[in-house]
Structure 1
Amino acid sequence: MSHTADLIQRFAPVFDEVGADAIAREKERRLPYAEIETLRASGFTRVTLPVELGGDGADHLALFELLAELARRDPNLAQLFRSHFSVIDRALHAPRSEFSSALLRRLSEGAIHGNASFERGSARVGSYSTVLTRDDCGLRLDGRKFYSTGTLFADIVSVLAAPDARSGVPGETVGVLVSTNAPGLTRIDDWDGFGQRLTGSGSTVFEGVRVNESDLVSRSPEPSHAGAFVQLVLLATLTGIGRAVVDDATRYVGERTRSYSHASAARPKDDPLVQEVIGDLSAASFCADAALAAAVTVLDRVAAPLRETDGGRPTAPDHDPAAAHLATARAQLVIIPAILRATTELFEVGGATAVGADLAWDRHWRNARTIASHNPARYKARSVGDHLVNGTPVVSWWTSGEA
């Protein structure tokens, strides 16, 4: 059995446990604190850490397959770990430093990492209203973030801020690592999207939060695969939704006894038209699986030279971050329409009972549509076309703000 298959088999019962109540959580909008603790206790949050740090050394192929399987049970849980696994990946592929070593050690002890990068405010694209400054007591952080995916459940959070002249910190943007229990930090459950409502993606407020010099995150100017990685977490989550659609449709048709006077068979499971719908749903899921695997394979190939040089900056020809971004953009353009179509065509397997609140099938479309709205796909399609026609470099990092 391969390492990936072994990990899937090992975590399947854990994923089944945390997914068992997913529909009830969705209806009640009950945040999954208990389920996250179950995943932490199982070792899932450490799965990509090296064995010597208490992890399983899972590679990219294993991680994204695990995330898709977790999303198959509950896509909220898969997405909320987006920043957590991303920061582990960046630390493992960066040059070794006291900062990265300390961060990896804390994560190996079970800490969960969240994100507070993007804002809803007057800051222009690529800049931030959150400010790092200095007073008589040292560095302080002030501002308000939105889209703080996973931060409600996190122990530490990375924050992007603009250092002012008094801070003494160079550059237009600085990363800051902050404990979520720090005085002056407030997490607010105000995410109001109609989908992915349990990802902890609301506001994080910083009011005079004290920052140590050692908690400033150096931002390398070197191109990296980090942007592709975080996008692939979303695509793995969409892929898991596609698998759940097939699961739900197959189960529903297999158990259904009601039919129609104009049906093609007495029982829905024997009706060739219903069977055809199931086949189409399965093909859409298969398409998403294949696109995800293809993009992750490129990501893993791009990242491999970094691992082989212990986080150095190699000149190996395979280390081409642009290849990972291009593959990920193409995968997005395949996976999003396939899954959105499947979440609609799912209802063709039944009649009025298929829209029953007890089934909650609407959650599949709402969640998929919400995920698909991250980094709009039309911009990615244009970027790929511009690259192919004009040789324009593929954008490696996507951000937002006022025009």
Structure 2
Amino acid sequence: MRTTPSPAGHRSADEQRHALLRTARDVADDLAADAIARDQAGKPPTDEAARLREAGLPAALTPPGPGRGADWRTGCAVIREIAAADSSVGDVLARHYVHAWSGRFYANDQHATALEEESVREQWLWTGAVRPPAPNDDAEGPDLTLRPRSTGYLLNGRRSVDTAVAAADQIVVDAVCAATGDVLVVRIPPGARGVTIEPAHGRLGQRVAGAGEVALDRVTITPGQVLGRRPHDEESTAPFTALAEPALRLALCHVGLGIAEGALTEARDLIRGGRAHRLPGEDPDLFLTYGELASAAQTATAVVDRATEAMAQALATGAQLDAEVPAGVAALVATAEAVTSKATLHVTARVLELADAPGLDRFWRNARVLTAHRPVAHRLRSIGEHYLNGSHRAVAATFR
């Protein structure tokens, strides 16, 4: 089908970027060919994960280092390209890329470097569900607990995971230490003893993303699987660690943009092929409608690109990041999320009025599921508080 990209060490950064984007386009074309059939089947993304590994994308979408990884801008461009062809796989890749940064967000430099090198070498596919600090964390007790033992911990509980729960190589979660009350971020291989995977069935959209629950019964966690502490509140969170949650939200904005772009492209091709309710050459109102939808998508793209640039600069700064920066980045991400959610839902609903073809509804279904747990009003309130009161905590705290 394709060949894995050649070693990056012998090419310039621009050459590496262009080669990775070419690979992403090839994978996207491959996924688009049977996207409708796979959506209808709704199976776990085992085959899709194999396609990604064959193309070398899990290894390529890791944090940048000497001769490896992808910078934030390039990683997001790859995610959007894949999502336009199949947003379920784009979702898998988005969460993989962000969780592959977990070593840098939570661990020390030496641990993070070793982890990233192993991830590239083994072509690990990452997923996870790390919850951000919140005032009511302990209201109902932790769902995951760690009990210390002589060497490491035993992990117990259940956690919902949005992608690749049965196809990933590493699942990143946070759990409360029963002895100290510390919240620790750990990684677990799904095949470990005591791990039970329960895939979700009958989803409205994102059917191939591989959502489900992971049940953990006395799962051994070695010291090497502990990435670090997740602070209990925003005030005690290191600036770089504070980027973890908005980074995930921003990556998912690129998935949303991919959905809108994919819907517009497929509707356009159907219209050109004569499978439309009205013929484009005879109806200026059709031009007007398509122009409105294209403008909405392009406006969302501009907002997301601005947040992407801010995030890229913050991630590149590393541990020296100023304490005030994450809140500003989070405000931009919240804005991008609000604009993208509205645009994607609007575009995917309206294209159904333009063309008539099986499978076109999947774009709206996928957009609905992707945005369902992130209400726009919630984001807008946090943005307003940030700008009116200069509140940094409010923007970060609402990223749930």
SS in structure 2 opposite 1:81? helix
Give the Cα–Cα distance (whole angstroms) in 2 for the partners of residues 215 and 13 of structure 1.
35
Give the Cα–Cα distance (whole angstroms) in 1 for the partners of residues 313 and 110 of structure 2.
27
Deviates more, 1:209-218 or 1:68-77: 209-218
Matched, 1:367 2:359: no
Give the Cα–Cα distance (whole angstroms) in 2 for the partners of residues 258 and 229 of structure 1.
39
Which residue is 1:222 aligned to?
238
* 87 and 117 in structure 1: CA distance in 2 versus 1, 3 angstrom threshold: closer
Give the Cα–Cα distance (whole angstroms) in 1 for the partners of residues 317 and 214 of structure 2.
36
Correspondences of 1:276-287 after superposition (within 5 Å): 276-287=288-299
Match of 2:320 among 313, 318, 322: 313
Correspondences of 1:95-244 after superposition (within 5 Å): 96-109=108-121, 110-117=123-130, 124=138, 128-134=142-148, 139-165=153-179, 170-190=180-200, 192-219=202-229, 221-223=237-239, 224-244=242-262
Which residue is 1:309 aligned to?
none
Structure 1 consecutive aligned stretches of length 4 or more whose deviation exceeds 6 Å: 50-53
Which residue is 2:90 aligned to?
78
Equivalent AA in structure 1 for residue 244 of structure 2? A
Kept in 2: contact 1:83–1:150 (CA 8 A): no
Count how many residue pairs are aligned between Structure 1 and Structure 2: 374
Equivalent AA in structure 2 for residue 255 of structure 1? G
* 152 and 399 in structure 1: CA distance in 2 versus 1, 3 angstrom threshold: farther
TM-score (normalizing by structure 2):
0.85
Offset of 1:391 from its aligned partner?
Answer: 2.0
Give the Cα–Cα distance (whole angstroms) in 1 for the partners of residues 328 and 267 of structure 2.
36
Give the Cα–Cα distance (whole angstroms) in 1 for the partners of residues 108 and 21 of structure 2.
30
* 134 and 34 in structure 1: CA distance in 2 versus 1, 3 angstrom threshold: same
Give the Cα–Cα distance (whole angstroms) in 2 for the partners of residues 257 and 367 of structure 1.
22
* 258 and 384 in structure 1: CA distance in 2 versus 1, 3 angstrom threshold: closer
SS in structure 2 opposite 1:300? helix
Match of 2:305 among 284, 293, 298: 293
- The alignment yields a C-alpha RMSD, in angstroms, of 2.8
Offset of 1:128 from its aligned partner?
Answer: 2.1
Computing the radius of gyration over CA atoms, which structure comes out larger, 1 or 2? Answer: 1
Give the Cα–Cα distance (whole angstroms) in 2 for the partners of residues 174 and 304 of structure 1.
25
Match of 1:304 among 303, 313, 316: 316
Which residue is 1:91 aligned to?
103
**What 5-or-longer segments of structure 1 have no aligned partner?**
307-311
**What 5-or-longer segments of structure 2 have no aligned partner?**
1-13, 231-236
* 52 and 60 in structure 1: CA distance in 2 versus 1, 3 angstrom threshold: closer
* 191 and 134 in structure 1: CA distance in 2 versus 1, 3 angstrom threshold: farther
Offset of 1:325 from its aligned partner?
Answer: 0.4
Give the Cα–Cα distance (whole angstroms) in 2 for the partners of residues 302 and 126 of structure 1.
34
Matched, 1:20 2:33: yes
* 335 and 303 in structure 1: CA distance in 2 versus 1, 3 angstrom threshold: same
TM-score (normalizing by structure 1):
0.84
Kept in 2: contact 1:117–1:148 (CA 8 A): no
Equivalent AA in structure 2 for residue 313 of structure 1? Q
Residue identity (%): 24
